[in-house]
């Protein structure tokens, strides 16, 4: 039997191990599949068994790593995708470099995750799941000056929300500090590391340039005994911050500046968010990165493209120590226009009061996108669409917006809301009477059912749906013209009421009682269907209409003397008071709706039944707006 796709079970992973597991057969579209032992660091991977019959095998339930429970509804056929990372992994498996797949997502807990991290999670977790492997979530908490528990908690929430299941594979680099120090001592004893007294400025001056070699530190040839003594005293807290560093002894003439005796440890008397004051020396990312991967038994360390030049150092440390050696593979960062994707700049934007926190819906953070109304499914679809390439590229926002439109079109309940109201009085409708019309909750989902919407003599319509003097191709309401009210009746505009300034403030219309539900018994047709709300029953709501955070595609495109903040868009959010139908009165924060003919909106976390607040996720495409823009 030959399978074009695999269904994979990823089970509980109680412990980390660097020991490989035995994988006798890897299934591809050209190989027979059979059950193979797949113990991976305490977990398992089950591949379909070839029964020799023509019947399809029973579906294998996906196991929730966190609970061990079956999640049949989550089972999906994982197609054997092809990109340069997956091709490299398949090659490693076929050539015997590894006989398993083990990935990790290693965020630093110094800010909130952004959509670029979502791409990394999608790659790391998706590949582990696709190959029946293991996925670790590891916090690279090696810089206590910038790390906080708030960021740890936010990252856990974001990764879980994105759909990645790390089970019991949650790790912290700080738990490996003792082992890292032992390995540093190994390099000192081999003469491959030394304690350096140069200051940061002096070290910079001796580094050299891309075209000229660096200069050896005057402390480079200290004896092993002296280096061991000084390093022990560094660890014991004897020296002040910045007084000394431990550096690798490699090659100050290397054409790769990263290899010019990089530092491994610096002194920092700062309390750690998990370790307290136990440590006063902290490892560099380059030193810690490969060691963490090795300790956890990672096979493929998937990094962003800027780490290409760091790969030789990653390999050097592992080879010099003679420990288990994962493979590092790099992929390009995700870039979006009209925003920034720097954690440092997120902090500046928040601390400077330019945005309303890390979850401001204008921010490209996962928390901001979630608050704005984006779904994890839409973000995953976005990652699938853009794929994995070897070169940097800028992905336009409309690609992400198309993904969320498609997803919310299938799941969001429809309601009616009027953003810029004009009052309509149905002069022939009985005063004081109220009736309830049946409205479809979601035409894409028959099981979503219907709801009752109140209809009365006085209504609110969108001001943009009326023109006193209609231009060509304008089929909405105007004097003497008839339109259909969604789920309601045909109405005709008879009179226009204006204020002293000449602005239209009220329309007097008549309705046709025979057209209830939107069809005319005599067969006459109208060319426009408008949404509305009952003025008596509609609820006021604050609606936040979001635009791009920056005015320029590249926020760093500034005049001399300015910085990216000068390109902030002063109109990136517009607040309007809208009127919404009463069915949304008790909606929970995070509930998503389609406001008919407007767009998709999400109930904000600050919303209450007494004071409703909605964030616009994305607008619908407006055909008339396109016509007017073309003019």
Residue ranges covered by each domain of the chain: 420-537
User: Per the residue annotation, which of 192, 333, 423, 486 is the catalytic one?
Assistant: 333
**Active-site residue, selected from the candidate residues 129, 138, 343, 362:** 343
* d(C-alpha 357, C-alpha 550), whole Å: 17
Question: What φ, ψ does residue 245 adopt, rounded to 5°?
Answer: -135, 160
Question: Phi and psi of 416, rounded to 5°?
Answer: -110, 135
Give the confidence band of 629 by pLDDT, cuts at 50, 70, 90.
low
* pLDDT at 4 exceeding the cut of 70: no
Percent of the chain with pLDDT over 90: 84
What is the pLDDT at residue 630? 55
Over residues 11-34, the mean pLDDT reads 31
Would the pLDDT of 251 be above 80?
A: yes
Run of H or E including 25: none
Specify the pLDDT at position 257: 97
Model confidence band, residue 393 (pLDDT cutoffs 50, 70, 90): confident
pLDDT tens digit sequence for 87-144: 999 999 999 999 999 999 999 999 999 999 999 999 999 999 999 999 999 999 999 9
Where does the pLDDT of residue 12 fall: very low under 50, low under 70, confident under 90, or very high at 90 and above? very low
Mean pLDDT of 579-585: 97
d(CA 381, CA 369): 14
Which of 72-76, 86-90, 355-359, 462-466 bottoms out in mean pLDDT, i.e. has the lowest? 72-76
Of 335, 272, 45, which Cα lies nearest the Cα of 145?
272
Residue 104 tokens, joined: 């990790």
Read off the pLDDT of each residue in 554-566 and give the average, rounded to a whole number. Answer: 96
Could you give the C-alpha distances from 64 to 12, 69, 71, 106, in angstroms and in order? Answer: 8, 5, 7, 21
Q: At the fourth CATH level, which superfamily is domain 420-537? A: Ribosomal Protein L25; Chain P (2.40.240.10)
Q: Is 250 strand, coil or helix?
A: coil
Average pLDDT over residues 598-603: 98
- The CB density around residue 395, as the number of other CB atoms within 10 Å, is 16
What is residue 449's predicted lDDT score, i.e. its pLDDT? 96
Is residue 343 part of the annotated active site? The answer reads yes
292 alpha-carbon distance from chain centroid: 24
Q: 273 or 24, which is more confident?
A: 273
For 207-245, b where at least 16 C-beta lie within 10 A, e where not — what string?
Answer: beeeeeebeebebeebeeeebeebbeebbeeebeeeebb
Long-range contact list for 548-552, CB < 8 A, 24+ apart? 548/338, 548/339, 548/397, 548/572, 549/338, 549/339, 549/340, 549/355, 549/362, 549/363, 550/338, 550/339, 550/340, 551/338, 552/338
Return the pLDDT at 9. Answer: 30
Contact of 614 with 543, CB cutoff 8 Å: yes
Instruction: Note if 527 is an active site residue.
Output: no
Mean pLDDT of all residues belonging to the chain: 87
Of the residues 18, 90, 108, 411, only one is catalytic, namely 108
Q: Which residues does 101 contact at the CB level (< 8 Å), separation at least 6?
A: 89, 93, 127, 128, 131, 132, 133, 134, 299, 300
d(C-alpha 488, C-alpha 509), whole Å: 14
pTM value is: 0.84
Task: Band the pLDDT of 278: cuts 50, 70, 90.
Answer: very high
Decide which of 63 and 404 is more confident: 404
387: left (phi over 0), alpha (psi -120 to 50) or beta: left
């Amino acid at each position: 039997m030959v399978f074009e796709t695999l269904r994979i079970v990823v089970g509980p992973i109680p412990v980390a191990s660097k020991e490989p597991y035995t994988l006798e057969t890897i299934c591809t579209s050209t190989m027979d599949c059979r059950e193979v032992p797949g113990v991976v660091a305490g977990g398992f991977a089950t591949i379909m068994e070839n029964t020799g019959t023509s019947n399809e095998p029973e579906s294998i339930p996906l196991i929730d790593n966190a609970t061990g429970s079956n999640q049949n509804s989550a089972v999906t056929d994982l197609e054997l995708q092809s990109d340069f990372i997956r091709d490299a992994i398949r090659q490693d498996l076929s050539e015997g470099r590894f006989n398993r797949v083990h990935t990790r997502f290693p965020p630093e807990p110094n800010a909130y995750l952004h959509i670029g991290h979502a791409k990394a999670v999608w790659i790391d977790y998706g590949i582990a799941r696709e190959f029946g492997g293991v996925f670790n979530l590891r916090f690279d908490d090696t810089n206590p000056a910038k790390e906080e528990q708030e960021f740890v908690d936010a990252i856990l929430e974001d990764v879980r929300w994105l759909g990645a299941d790390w089970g019991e594979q949650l790790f912290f680099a700080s738990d490996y500090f003792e082992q890292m120090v032992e390995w540093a001592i190994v390099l000192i004893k081999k003469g491959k590391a030394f304690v350096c007294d140069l200051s940061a400025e002096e070290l910079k001056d001796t580094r050299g340039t891309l075209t000229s070699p660096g200069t050896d530190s005057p402390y480079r040839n200290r004896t092993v005994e002296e280096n061991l003594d000084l390093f022990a005293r560094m660890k014991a807290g004897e020296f002040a911050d910045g007084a000394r560093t431990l550096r690798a002894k490699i090659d100050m003439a290397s054409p790769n500046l990263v290899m010019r005796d990089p530092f491994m440890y610096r002194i920092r008397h700062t309390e750690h968010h998990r370790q307290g004051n136990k440590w006063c020396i902290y490892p560099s990312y380059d030193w810690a990165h490969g060691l963490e991967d090795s300790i956890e038994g990672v096979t493929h360390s998937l990094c962003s493209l800027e780490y290409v030049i760091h790969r030789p150092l990653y390999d050097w440390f592992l080879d010099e120590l003679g420990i288990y050696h994962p493979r590092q593979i790099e992929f390009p960062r995700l870039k979006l226009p009209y925003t920034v994707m720097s954690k440092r700049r997120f902090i500046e934007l928040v601390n400077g009061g330019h945005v309303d926190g890390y979850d401001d819906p204008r921010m490209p953070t996962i928390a901001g996108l979630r608050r704005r109304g984006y779904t994890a499914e839409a973000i995953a679809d976005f990652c699938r669409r853009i794929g994995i390439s070897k070169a940097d590229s800028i992905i336009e926002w409309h690609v992400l917006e198309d993904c969320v439109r498609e997803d919310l079109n299938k799941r969001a309940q429809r309601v009616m809301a009027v953003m810029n109201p004009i009052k309509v009085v149905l002069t022939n409708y009985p005063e004081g009477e109220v009736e309830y019309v049946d409205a479809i909750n979601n035409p894409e989902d028959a099981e979503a059912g219907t709801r009752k919407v109140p209809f009365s003599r006085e209504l609110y319509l969108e001001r943009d749906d009326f023109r006193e003097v209609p231009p060509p191709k304008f089929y909405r309401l105007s004097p003497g013209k008839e339109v259909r009210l969604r789920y309601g009746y045909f109405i005709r505009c008879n009179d226009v009421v204006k204020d002293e300034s000449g602005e239209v403030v009220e329309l007097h219309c008549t309705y046709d009682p025979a057209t209830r539900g939107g069809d005319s018994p005599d067969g006459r047709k109208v060319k426009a269907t408008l949404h509305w709300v009952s003025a008596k029953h509609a609820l006021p709501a604050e609606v936040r209409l979001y635009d791009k955070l920056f005015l320029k595609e590249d926020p760093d495109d500034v005049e001399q003397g300015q910085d990216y903040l000068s390109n902030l868009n002063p109109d990136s959010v517009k607040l309007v008071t809208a009127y919404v139908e009463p069915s949304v009165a008790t909606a929970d924060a995070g509930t998503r709706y389609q406001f008919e003919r407007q767009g998709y909106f999400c109930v904000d976390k600050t919303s209450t039944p007494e004071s409703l607040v909605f964030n616009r996720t994305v607008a619908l495409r407006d055909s008339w707006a396109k016509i007017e823009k073309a003019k």
